[in-house]
């Protein structure tokens, strides 16, 4: 059963990658794999034209491969997927894929949502999945400063890419800290992760260069993060979301700050790569940044990202120095 759902990327990704195959090729082109259905997705890395079913089969395998990189030996490891306010439709698609994977092992999947509107969206799209438990995030379960921002998510709009991403990851780590050995699968695609690293590099900070990896462990919460769509270009997840999901009545957080010169310049670099249809640039940039990651850096006690102290620059920026000292 093919996974069902996904979304139009954030505003800047929509502008960056919003190209449908039907606008570039004949509607009668057949899928290179099954040779039966109409091809709707073009995988530039392999130069394949695929139908939606064959592409979602590939996406399913990629997510499973990313989770398998953890080499989990216990059959009952708790796995969760957030309904992320920055990526609502991608979260739905990812939850559907992971739920299908876990169903084969008779495991349940926890979907973490923030607010009643998020709960209603998840139930609407995933009601056919019997092995999903929807868990609302109670602000009382997170640190005080995080709680204030969580109750007023609009305050994070324009905070910048890395700040917003790491803040929500810190919130999720706080929620799951009581579930030792949990795995949190995030709805992050490849060029978004590279964009985070490139933006960090342009700020002269090595702390942000640990984002584009398959998985990493939180230093204190006994939690492992998995980038669910690691290795998958955003254009593909965006296109599939447009084909599988209609308009979503959910107001999501817009993390891209047009006033941020650094984020904007990093976006232009990847935008040029997309314009030239050169995904080699995106992946080679990822490899280059990987060489620069500081092995001596530790992990932030809030978000789990690379940090030169016990709290990374971005968590310190959004949470305030008093939270660090607390």
- Residue 20 pLDDT level (bands cut at 50, 70, 90): very low
Q: Among 3.40.50.920, 3.40.50.620, 3.30.565.10, 3.40.50.300, what is the CATH number of 11-325?
A: 3.40.50.620
Which of 18-32, 233-247, 296-310 reaches the highest mean pLDDT? 296-310
In angstroms, the CA 249 to CA 299 distance is 36
Asked whether the beta carbons of 48 and 39 are under 8 A apart, the reply is: no
CA-closest candidate to residue 66, choices 188, 235, 166, 198: 188
In angstroms, the CA 197 to CA 206 distance is 8
Tens of pLDDT, residues 283-304: 667 766 666 665 678 899 999 9
Asked whether the beta carbons of 67 and 170 are under 8 A apart, the reply is: no
Buried/exposed 26-56: b ≥16 CB within 10 Å, e otherwise: eeebebbbeeeebbbbbbeeeebbbbbebbb
In angstroms, the CA 179 to CA 173 distance is 10
Domain boundaries, the chain: 11-325
Residues in the chain: 326
pTM of the model: 0.82
pLDDT of residue 326: 43
pLDDT of residue 226: 95
CA-closest candidate to residue 241, choices 123, 151, 125, 78: 125
Q: What is the mean pLDDT of residues 128-157?
A: 76
- The CA–CA distances, whole Å, from 321 to 108, 112, 150, 317, 326 equal 38, 28, 18, 8, 9
In angstroms, the CA 27 to CA 37 distance is 11
- Residue 239 pLDDT level (bands cut at 50, 70, 90): confident
Write down the mean pLDDT value for the chain: 77
Tens of pLDDT, residues 178-188: 776 789 999 99
């Amino acid at each position: 059963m093919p996974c069902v759902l996904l979304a139009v990327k954030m505003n800047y990704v929509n502008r960056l990658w919003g190209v449908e195959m039907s606008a570039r090729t004949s509607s009668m082109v057949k899928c290179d794999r099954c040779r039966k259905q109409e091809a709707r997705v073009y995988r530039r890395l392999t130069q394949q034209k695929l139908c939606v079913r064959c592409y979602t089969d590939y996406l399913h395998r990629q997510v499973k491969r990313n989770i398998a990189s953890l080499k989990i030996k216990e059959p009952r490891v708790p796995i969760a997927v957030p309904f992320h306010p920055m990526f609502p439709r991608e979260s739905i698609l990812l939850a559907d894929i992971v739920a299908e994977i876990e169903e084969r092992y008779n495991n349940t999947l926890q979907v973490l949502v923030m607010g009643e509107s998020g709960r209603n969206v998840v139930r609407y799209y995933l009601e056919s999945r019997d092995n999903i438990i929807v868990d609302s995030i109670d602000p009382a379960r997170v640190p005080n400063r995080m709680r204030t921002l969580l109750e007023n998510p609009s305050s994070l709009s324009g905070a910048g890419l890395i700040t917003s991403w790491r803040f929500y990851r810190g919130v999720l780590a706080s929620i799951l800290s009581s579930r030792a050995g949990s795995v949190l699968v995030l709805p992050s695609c490849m060029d978004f992760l590279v964009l985070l690293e490139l933006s960090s590099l342009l700020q002269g900070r090595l702390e942000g260069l640990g984002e584009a990896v398959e998985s990493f462990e939180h230093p204190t919460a006994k939690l492992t993060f998995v980038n669910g769509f690691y290795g998958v270009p955003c254009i593909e997840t965006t296109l599939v979301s447009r084909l599988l999901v209609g308009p979503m009545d959910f107001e999501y957080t817009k993390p891209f700050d047009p006033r941020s010169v650094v984020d904007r310049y990093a976006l232009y670099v990847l935008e040029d790569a997309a314009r030239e249809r050169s995904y080699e640039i995106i992946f080679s940039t990822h490899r280059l940044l990987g060489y620069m990651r500081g092995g001596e850096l530790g992990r932030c006690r809030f978000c789990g990202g690379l940090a030169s102290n016990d709290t990374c620059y971005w968590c310190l920026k959004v949470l305030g120095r008093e939270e660090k000292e607390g």
